[in-house]
Structure 1
Amino acid sequence: MPYDVAPIGRHIAPASTMHSAKIGAITATRFAYGIPVHIKDWDQDAGNAFVATTIGGTARHWVDREQAVETPVGSSFVVDCSRTDYWVDFDPDHLQFNLTIPHELLERTALDWFGFNPGDALWQAKVGLGGAESSWLGLMDYVARSIAEAPERLTQGPLARHLEQTICVRLLNEWALRAGLDLNDPCHRLAPRTVRAAEQFMIEHAAELPTMADVARAVGTSVRTLSAAFKSFRGYPPSAFLREQRLQGARRVLSAAPFGASVSAIAAAWGYINMGEFARSYRLRFGERPSDTLRRGTA
């Protein structure tokens, strides 16, 4: 999962170390740069989530441009780099034990264990977890000891699958708890075909700003029935799903826009007429202005 790393300070040379091992599809890594560093621009196309556990020094993980979570020894931080941006600062004494987990593995585990894909309500949440004496830290200790004692048995086979599943299920529970998402809420049980078809239609046609009547007609039901199904199985109306897809679409385009692109033109392409309302909704959702995203994308 490529990323950009730069030293914090001048005239300093890294003294880096890294050891890695596989646990099924999960990569466990212990590393240190030996100097303070700032890391950014994690490759979203790699399709991975990242769980960083501090075992020496401290780390500062940025939730957005203004808020950060510090992880002292024994604490972890989770971010899905395939679904959101991420920056982290490590102090000169840092030592990390990290897990790189394919996003599709987490999605599959969520479907197998909880019956639904949590979506961006979870995948875009950047949260701290664990801590001294926590069960999560205990699991990380067990993982590290298992790697030390029998690394060849963890690359594939029954033990690898068991530990891989244990890590993913525990992570999903811890992550969801801190993101304010109840994985056992009945509204999250596997939704009927009409809800899933409506979601797919809205994902594909979000920029066209379909009405709820358009959506209902496309999946062969009424607006009333569709709204009731979303309320029962998703906990929010279909219009909220469409609104999220439009904001996400505008953000993707802003992030990849060429030099000279304008916020107003991109917003208009996603059905926004009132630029003030778009800017307010965007800042509330992503913690930054649309122009900030555009500037970073064209830098």
Structure 2
Amino acid sequence: MLDRALLEDGQGKPLLRGKLNGSREWSEVNAFCHRTYMPLSTRPLTPGMNPDSTMRMLRIGRITFSRFCFGTPTRADDFDPNSGNIIVVNTLRGSVRHPLGGKAAVDTRPGDSYVVDCSRTDYWNVADGHDLQLNLTIPHALMEETAARWYGFVPGDDLWKKRLIFGVGHSAWLSLLDYATRSLDARHDAVPNPLIERRIEETIGLELLRNWAESAELNLETGARSAAPYYVREAERLMTERAVEAPSVLEIAAMIGISARSLSEGFRRFRGITPHAFLAAQRLTALREALLAAAPGETVSSIAGGRGYVNLGALAVRYRERFGESPAQTLRSRTLRL
């Protein structure tokens, strides 16, 4: 399982032809790591040793998949917490050592998966030089959105700070990654259909969240969602249904019959986000759906303008932060497949 991940698409056709897929230069390897994961430090365990790396990277939605190894025993550390990224290391060959709680560490073997939120806790790893990994780089914001959408609240740092090994052996998690990588299509620059892309992104986020919460002994089903009062849940319903209308938080609060301050406090306590952030996320989701369903001749300006967006420059920045591409790229991906 995963032995051909990022080497071939689902039809057995080669991926990433013409790309730099390996290097013996530390400068190129470090540039790949900074681009694919986040800024970090690397050093060979044998001074002066050059890498013999594998470096393959593709994105599915907002998740970056990479097939990677240094090709020589190496320590990586000082992962930048400002990146906002979660790393999932799925070991395909050899072993990699990672930190757990306190001074404990774990060696992942083939079939093992390890997750760490580098935006919430420190991280390092030591690769044995014979290793190979299929790694995932996932924005922390994506996991928060997934939790809020499916379970109605954003878990706290008791979850995000927990580093753990999961999915040992031939697990459902690895089967999901196998499906995701087989969905790639070399005929279209390796990008799957947008609907499949969104489904993969959502399913991976949910499955990772489930495994993570189980290890942290957090019951997502009976967590803050069940404790949230009616007015918070009603506000979420209204903001989701009326996202295109772009109501203000004051207007939403008035519809429910409470103050904006009470609504904000309820979201802070039970959801871990502000009502404004929730509404902004719903509006961006509605915009993306409209772009993906655009009729011939429609433009980003016409679609966004019809949804109350005026500053297209600021919109593009927020949109890229959430979806990993510009509104124009989303619209173009739609038209390319028509």
Give the TM-score range, shorter chain. 0.5 to 0.7
Alpha-carbon deviation of 1:9? 2.1
Aligned counterpart in structure 1 of residue 92 of structure 2, from 55, 65, 76: 55
Aligned counterpart in structure 1 of residue 149 of structure 2, from 96, 105, 112: 112
Alpha-carbon spacing, 1:22–1:47, altered in 2? closer, same or farther (3 Å): same
Alpha-carbon deviation of 1:142? 1.7
Q: Which runs of 5+ in 1 are unaligned?
A: 196-218, 221-225, 235-299
Residue 281 (structure 2) aligns with:
none
Structure 1 position 95 matched with structure 2 position 137: no
Secondary structure at the counterpart of residue 199 of structure 2: helix
Residue 39 (structure 1) aligns with:
76
Secondary structure at the counterpart of residue 85 of structure 1: coil
Distance 1:5 1:190 in 2: 45
Q: Please show how residues 99-248 of structure 1 align to structure 2 within 5 Å.
A: 99-147=136-184, 152=189, 154=191, 157-189=194-226, 191-192=228-229
Alpha-carbon deviation of 1:60? 0.8
Q: Give the letter aligned to residue 68 of structure 1.
A: A
Residue 12 (structure 1) aligns with:
49
Secondary structure at the counterpart of residue 147 of structure 2: helix
Does the aligned pair in 1 maintain the 2:45–2:75 contact within 8 Å? yes
Alpha-carbon spacing, 1:186–1:65, altered in 2? closer, same or farther (3 Å): closer
TM-score (norm 2): 0.55
Number of aligned positions between the proteins? 201
Does the aligned pair in 1 maintain the 2:152–2:224 contact within 8 Å? no
Residue 73 (structure 1) aligns with:
110
Aligned counterpart in structure 2 of residue 27 of structure 1, from 64, 67, 71: 64
Distance 1:68 1:150 in 2: 42
Distance 1:87 1:67 in 2: 12
Alpha-carbon deviation of 1:64? 4.5
Secondary structure at the counterpart of residue 22 of structure 1: strand
Distance 1:61 1:25 in 2: 25
Deviation per residue, 1:190-236 (Å, 9 max, x gap): 634999xxxxxxxxxxxxxxxxxxxxxxx88xxxxx9xxx8xx69xx
Alpha-carbon spacing, 1:58–1:82, altered in 2? closer, same or farther (3 Å): same
- Pick which of 155-164 and 66-75 moved more: 155-164
Identity of aligned residues (%): 42
Alpha-carbon deviation of 1:10? 2.6
Alpha-carbon deviation of 1:112? 0.5
TM-score (norm 1): 0.62
Alpha-carbon spacing, 1:115–1:142, altered in 2? closer, same or farther (3 Å): same
Distance 1:94 1:175 in 2: 24
Secondary structure at the counterpart of residue 143 of structure 1: helix
Secondary structure at the counterpart of residue 184 of structure 2: helix
Alpha-carbon spacing, 1:151–1:168, altered in 2? closer, same or farther (3 Å): farther
Q: Give the letter aligned to residue 90 of structure 2.
A: T
Alpha-carbon spacing, 1:48–1:86, altered in 2? closer, same or farther (3 Å): same
Secondary structure at the counterpart of residue 147 of structure 1: coil
Alpha-carbon deviation of 1:83? 1.1
Does the aligned pair in 1 maintain the 2:83–2:119 contact within 8 Å? yes
Q: Which runs of 5+ in 2 are unaligned?
A: 1-37, 233-260, 272-338
Distance 1:94 1:52 in 2: 11
Does the aligned pair in 2 maintain the 1:39–1:87 contact within 8 Å? yes
Distance 1:82 1:189 in 2: 28
